[in-house]
Amino acid sequence: MDRPDPQELTHDPEKREPVFGRDRALKETRGGGDSMMTPIFALLFAALFLARRGNGRAAALCILATLVLAIGLFLFEIYSPEYGFRMPWIQVSLPLTAGEG
């Protein structure tokens, strides 16, 4: 994939939240995954609280569930419908000049 065209990069001043091309609009149609932050922190708090109280097995189950959900949310957050998991903006290529290649 080519480096993204700067013309595609837009900014939504009303929301005061910058958006990256068509990415956000495309992502918003997927829904679901981005609502997991609150359950993740609920499970994390439960895990820490139970570990502190000495309820080791329940705490371990909660922290494992936290880990799985956190990895899922991380993958959701970094996935771009336009670029997938790739990061074309950090590709480096120098144009070949006459006599090279």
Partner 1 sequence: MRKDRLSLLHYLYLFLMQLALAGIQAAALFMQFAFGETPCPLCLLQRVAMFGVSFGIIKNFREGFSARNAGLSMIFALLLPVISVRQTLLDIYPRPGHEYIGSAIFGLHMPVWSILIAAALLLGFALKSAVLGGDDELTPLQKFPALEKAANALSVLIVALCAVNFASVVLQCGVDACHTYEYRLLR
Give the other-Cβ count within 10 Å of 70's Cβ. Answer: 16
Rounded to a whole number of angstroms, the distance between the first and last alpha carbons of the chain is: 21
CB of 92 to partner 1, least distance (A): 10
Which tokens sit at 31? 């829904």
User: Which lies closer to partner 1 via its Cβ, residue 6 or residue 99?
Assistant: 6
Provide the binding-site residues for partner 1, judged by CB under 8 A. 4, 6, 9-11, 15-21, 23-24, 34-35, 37-38, 40-42, 44-45, 47-49, 51-52, 54, 56, 59-60, 63, 66-67, 70-71, 73-74, 77-78, 87, 89-90
DSSP strand pairing (10-12 vs 17-19): antiparallel
User: Which lies closer to partner 1 via its Cβ, residue 43 or residue 99?
Assistant: 43
- 22, 80 in Cβ contact below 8 A? no
CB of 97 to partner 1, least distance (A): 24
CB of 93 to partner 1, least distance (A): 14
CB of 4 to partner 1, least distance (A): 8
Q: What are phi and psi of 28, to 5 degrees?
A: -65, -20
CA 14 – CA 11 distance, rounded (Å): 9
